[in-house]
Amino acid sequence: MEKHFSVLLAILVIAIKTLNTEEELKETGFGYPPPRHGLALLKWYVNNCIDNNMVALCDPVAGEFGFHVFRNIGSLLPPLKDKRTYTYFTIGNLHYRHSDDLPYEVRKYYDRHNKQSNMDRVIVKLNMNKNKIEEIYISEHYNPPRTFQLGASLIDDLRWHQNSTQKVFPIISQNIFT
């Protein structure tokens, strides 16, 4: 009985909601309003760091823009089955080395004395052999109930349908989504 409970608990902990629409993203409250930076970070990432086939255009391995390995201690995300092929990387810690290379729109509300201005993260699962991003997650400082996976349709919407993004996030879209 105890063994079954442990397995069930492990499954429940790893059950991460997938967001498929901009409306679902908005409902999470992720990354806005300022001084939060996650929405600006996410929008910048999907438009500048991956191509249409999810090939990485920014180099997480080299630490570009403050990327660094996310070790997944505590199993926030599903365990990697093949750690030679796949690695999780995270971006968004504005204290981290090279994060000052992020665009001004992402960093502009940062205040080292205000935790809300540095709580948002984007986490990616990189296929090291293909240089391809397999999964994208967003998280409020690695808090399990505030961690979500992005579905392909939401990624497409954030990349190409800027007008619909402006309808969902009308106030902040003037600066973030241009």
Q: Where is mean pLDDT largest: 10-14, 116-120, 158-162? A: 116-120
Tell me which residue range forms the domain holding 112. 2-176
Q: How far is CA 119 from CA 11, 85, 138, in A?
A: 26, 29, 11
Count the domains in the chain.
1
Cis amide bond preceding 35, omega within 30: yes
Q: Whole-prediction pTM value?
A: 0.86
Contact 121, 141 (CB under 8 A): yes
Q: For the segment 72-118, what is each residue's pLDDT rounded down to a tens digit?
A: 999 999 999 999 999 999 999 999 999 999 999 999 999 999 999 99
Contact 133, 87 (CB under 8 A): no
Q: For the segment 128-160, what is each residue's pLDDT rounded down to a tens digit?
A: 999 999 999 999 999 999 999 999 999 999 997
What's the CA gap between 66 and 97, in Å, rounded?
5
